[in-house]
């Protein structure tokens, strides 16, 4: 019987997350939000606005509604609501994963709602620290 000794080394990896000024962070958040929207709907957002307050990031956006969703909504509001719920869950999951990965945000919760009559989305990201911890200046 042979015994093989394996030596394990532990390496620490330190990731430095660059702090952005508020304007840069807002631009980067809008780009990310648009990317997530494109991943799901294959079409970009028309307009976005980002605000910070305390430990919250609020993103308002307008988009074009995908025509097939209008058909589903007209034929069956129940089915439409189920689809919108599933899309919201996927959207929030993708967005939260990227926010942590790219900005190292500590996130309490990501909330999202969509009003099909106004083609408007609102995303509220509640951080575990004040946004000033992630912004320079």
Per-residue confidence (pLDDT) for residue 75, from 0 to 100: 84
Per-residue confidence (pLDDT) for residue 5, from 0 to 100: 46
Nearest CA to 94 out of 40, 46, 28 is that of 40
| Domain assignment present for 9 | no
Return the higher-pLDDT residue of 33 and 15: 33
Whether the per-residue pLDDT at 3 is higher than 90: the answer is no
Predicted confidence (pLDDT) per residue in 29-47, tens digit: 999 999 999 999 888 999 9
| Domain assignment present for 6 | no
Whether the per-residue pLDDT at 50 is higher than 80: the answer is yes
Predicted confidence (pLDDT) per residue in 70-118, tens digit: 788 788 888 888 888 999 999 999 999 999 999 999 999 999 999 888 9
Return the higher-pLDDT residue of 27 and 69: 27
| Domain assignment present for 59 | yes
| Domain assignment present for 7 | no
The residue ranges of DSSP E strands in the chain, in sequence order, are 20-21, 47-53, 56-62, 107-115, 120-127, 135-136
Residue 111: domain span: 20-136
Taking the C-alpha atoms of residue 124 and residue 53, their distance in angstroms, rounded to an integer, is 11
| Domain assignment present for 10 | no
Q: Kindly indicate the confidence band of residue 18, based on its pLDDT and cuts at 50, 70 and 90.
A: low
Average predicted confidence (pLDDT) for the chain: 86
CATH, residue 40: 3.30.980
Taking the C-alpha atoms of residue 66 and residue 28, their distance in angstroms, rounded to an integer, is 25
| Average pLDDT value for residue range 38-59 | 95
Say what the pTM is: 0.81
Report the number of distinct structural domains present in the chain: 1
| Domain assignment present for 13 | no
Joined tokens for residue 110: 């990501």
| Domain assignment present for 5 | no
Task: State the sign of the Cα–Cα–Cα–Cα dihedral 48, 50, 56, 32.
Answer: positive
Per-residue confidence (pLDDT) for residue 64, from 0 to 100: 84
CA 80 to chain centre: 22
């Amino acid at each position: 019987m042979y015994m093989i000794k394996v030596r394990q080394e532990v390496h620490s990896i330190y990731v430095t997350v660059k702090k952005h000024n508020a304007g840069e962070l807002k631009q980067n958040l809008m780009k990310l939000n648009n990317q997530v929207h494109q991943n799901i709907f294959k079409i970009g957002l028309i307009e976005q606005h980002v605000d910070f307050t305390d430990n919250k990031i609020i993103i308002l956006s307008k988009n074009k509604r995908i025509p097939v969703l209008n058909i589903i909504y007209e034929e069956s509001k129940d089915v439409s609501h189920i689809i919108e719920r599933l899309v919201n869950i996927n959207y929030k999951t993708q967005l939260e994963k990227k926010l942590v990965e790219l900005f190292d945000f500590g996130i309490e919760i990501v909330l999202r709602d969509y009003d099909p009559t106004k083609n408007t989305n609102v995303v509220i990201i509640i951080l575990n620290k004040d946004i000033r911890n992630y912004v320079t200046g």
